[in-house]
A and B are shown apart, each in its own frame.
Chain A
Amino acid sequence: MTSPDVVLDIDGLVVRYADGPEVLQGISFTLGPQEIVGLIGASGAGKSTVLRAVQRLVEPTAGSVRLGGTELTTLGPVELRDARRRMGMIFQEHALVDRLTVMENVLCGALGRTGFWHALRRRFDPADVAHAFQLLDRMGLSGFENRRCDELSGGQRQRVGIARALIQNPELLLVDEPTASLDPAASVRIMTLISEVCSESGLAAVINLHDVPLARRFCPRILALHEGRIVFDGPPSELTDAVLTEIYGEEAVEPHVAVGAPAEDRRDD
């Protein structure tokens, strides 16, 4: 552990897919404990690539990624697996296994510490099962444990995805466009839930969002990605129209976008 007040330290991260151009051209930022940053940028800017490179779902071409002092880019397969368990990931399209039950999907997050034969026979650690029930309650999904995931609505699935990430007891959440397939009201509820669980568990998080008003509302710090570089790093108040024009182009800047209107808390999104 180099410094206890840095959760994630990315330095000069470069990513190139196959022989294509560099999608990320040297990204650097650090994330302190409980810090929540919103990563914004146009479609194709490389937001997902940042998260995938941190998890090494895509191999960084150059640069360093440190998780609480552990250099991730040089880890061997076994240590990498251990490191991945320390980061919970939430995906845009939920990435749940449709044919499995809600409980099985949540416990997928605990597979990293469950032996293969136990997992095969669905004999999970009772502590993990208890934790899973607790998380389902927290997600407003009590009683859903035996429902198949393909029977759930988009918002419900996303909450299963959040529970799956949280059961890892992660130090950091990597969240990729959690609201991309939800309506505005459901988006606000999901973002509220994510920021609440982050503060309850003292988690740091990187949240990719294409919805700028939503990012402004929920993220105390915003990073903007443009053409593989970070072009803005600061609080939402400093995110001016000039910056938005730079990253999204002229058309995108509409001062009166009505997103993020709080809705009454429906359970059945």
Chain B
Amino acid sequence: MTTEAARAWRPPPRIASAGVRRAAWVIAAAYALFAAWTIDVDGARIAEGAARAADFFGGWLRPDFVTRWTDIRAGLVESIAMTLVATAAGFVLSVPFGLGAARNLAPAPIYAGCRGALAVFRAFHEVLVAILFVAMFGFGGFAGVMTLVVATVGFLGKLLAEAVEEIDPAPLEALTAAGATWASRITFGVLPQVMPRILGLTLYRLDINFRESAIIGLVGAGGIGATLITAFARYEFESVSAILILIISMLFVAELLSSRLRRRLL
């Protein structure tokens, strides 16, 4: 045996050609420069805004829960209701879509239909959907709930479909071999494998929905966001600060509860 030099090893590069690799870096850098160039920065407006920001941060330090308390409470209660209703309804509706959009369960036409529907549900940002629903159903919480339901079905349906596509097929096959019906195969072979993950994601979506309910309120879909935009419009930064503090505390509480629940479920 001849002695051999220690053999070096490096992971193979993602882009095989060194030339292409270098060109990609150059193009990326050039684009970043160009993009920075096109953002025009207006000194005067920044100065003007700075004054208002100072006002705003001043207000932050003096949160006022009292003056607008009835409005704030009504907004919070509506947001919580919107969040809970939309998450629950969205969860229930996402199950058929999610099963239908799983390639390993659904026949081709159903698969295509459900995948398409889920893509449409996720195509537009919540704010756009909210604007549409506000136009259709008028101002208020109903438009908000509808918006959140659509977003929740799009989100959970897609993730459920992906979870179902990754299940261990062996137990499902065992159920087929035992002569179980389609419905029983789903409830015993599929759901136990995906439910912990889906319930975890639903709790996460509850968080998102609460946050979204504050955003879509800005375009008239009810909830705490509506109260927030009103306070902004009146330059009542003390109330704005109070509302933001409440939103953050709500999210903290939700986080605590959901992490606790999740530990129970897994």
List B178-195 residues whose CB lies under 8 Å from chain A.
Answer: 178-181, 183-184, 187-189, 192-193, 195
Most buried by A among B178, B181, B183, B195: B178
- Is residue B174 within 8 Å, beta carbon to beta carbon, of the partner chain? yes
Total interface residues on B, using CB and 8 Å?
21
Contact between chains at B192 and A119 (CB < 8 Å): no
| A85 and B179 form a contact (CB under 8 A) | yes
Chain A contact residues, majority secondary structure: mixed
When distances are taken between beta carbons in the complex, the residues of chain B under 8 Å from A109 are 178
B179 contact set on A, CB distance < 8 A: 81-85, 111-112, 168
CA distance A97 to B184 in the complex (A): 13
Cβ of A215 under 8 Å from chain B: no
- A193 interface residue, CB < 8 Å from B? no
Check A164–B177 contact: CB distance below 8 A: no
Nearest B residue (CB) for A170 = B178
Cα–Cα, bound, A85→B171 (Å)? 16
The residue from A82, A85, A95, A114 contacting B174, defined by CB atoms under 8 A apart: A95
Q: Flag if A108 contacts B174 (CB, 8 Å).
A: yes
Interface string of B124-148 (1 = CB under 8 A from A): 0000000000000000000000000
Q: Is A100 an interface residue (CB 8 A)?
A: yes
Known A-B contacts A99-B196, A108-B174; the reply to A116 vs B181 at CB < 8 A is: yes
Please give, as numbers and ranges, the residues of chain B lying within 8 Å of A168 by CB-CB distance.
178-179
Contact yes or no, B170 A95, CB < 8 A: yes
- Tell me, rounded to whole Å, the shortest Cβ–Cβ distance linking B193 to chain A: 7
Q: Which of A93, A112, A174 has the most CB of B within 10 A?
A: A112
Q: Which residue in chain A gives the minimum CB-CB distance to B174?
A: A95
Q: Known contacts A108-B180, A120-B187: does B192 contact A89 (CB below 8 Å)?
A: no
Residues 98-123 of A contacting B (Cβ, < 8 Å) = 98-100, 104, 108-109, 111-112, 114, 116, 119-120
Q: Are B184 and A91 in contact (CB under 8 A)?
A: no
A111 touches which of B173, B180, B192, B193 (Cβ 8 Å) = B180
Taking the closest CB of chain B, its distance from the CB of A128, in whole angstroms, is 12
Name the A residues within 8 Å of B193 (CB-CB): 97-99
Taking the nearest CB of chain B, how far is it from the CB of A217, in angstroms?
A: 27
Roughly how many angstroms separate A100 CA and B184 CA in the complex, as a whole number? 14
Distance in Å from the Cβ of B95 to the closest Cβ of chain A? Answer: 13
Which B residues touch A81, using CB under 8 A? 179-181
Interfacial residues of chain B within 11-49, with CB under 8 A of chain A in the complex: none
A97-B193, A99-B196, A116-B183 known; A57 and B177 CB under 8 Å? yes
> A91's contact among B174, B188, B189, by CB below 8 Å, is which?
B174
* A119 pairs with B187, CB closer than 8 A: yes
Residues in chain B near residue A203, CB distance under 8 A: none
Question: Which residues of A sit under 8 angstroms from B188, Cβ to Cβ?
Answer: 97, 100, 104, 108, 111, 119
Contact A91 B175 (CB under 8 A): no
Tell me if B176 counts as interface (CB < 8 A to partner A).
Answer: yes
The residue in chain A whose Cβ has the minimal distance to the Cβ of B196 is A99
Contact yes or no, A57 B173, CB < 8 A: yes
Q: Which of A96, A99, A112, A120 contacts B178 (CB 8 A)?
A: A112
Asked whether A87 is an interface residue with its Cβ less than 8 Å from the other chain, the reply is yes
Using Cβ atoms and an 8 Å threshold, which residues of chain A touch B170?
Answer: 91, 93-95
Best-surrounded residue of A94, A96, A116, A165 (most CB of chain B within 10 A): A116
| A55 touching B177, Cβ below 8 Å | yes
* Contact assessment for B178 and A164 in the assembled complex, using a CB-CB cutoff below 8 Å: yes
Nearest residue (CB) in B for A80 is B179
A119 to B188: give the CA distance in the assembly, Å: 9
CB distance from A65 to the nearest CB of B (A): 14
Q: How long is the Cα–Cα vector from A109 to B173 in the complex, in angstroms? A: 12
- Residues on B with C-beta less than 8 A from A91 are 170, 173-174
Q: Which B residues form the contact surface with A (CB < 8 A)?
A: 168, 170-171, 173-181, 183-184, 187-189, 192-193, 195-196
Sample of 26 A–B contacts (CB below 8 Å):
A81-B179, A81-B181, A84-B178, A88-B178, A89-B174, A89-B178, A91-B170, A93-B170, A94-B170, A95-B171, A96-B171, A96-B174, A97-B171, A97-B188, A98-B192, A98-B193, A99-B192, A108-B174, A111-B181, A111-B184, A112-B181, A116-B181, A116-B184, A116-B187, A119-B184, A120-B187
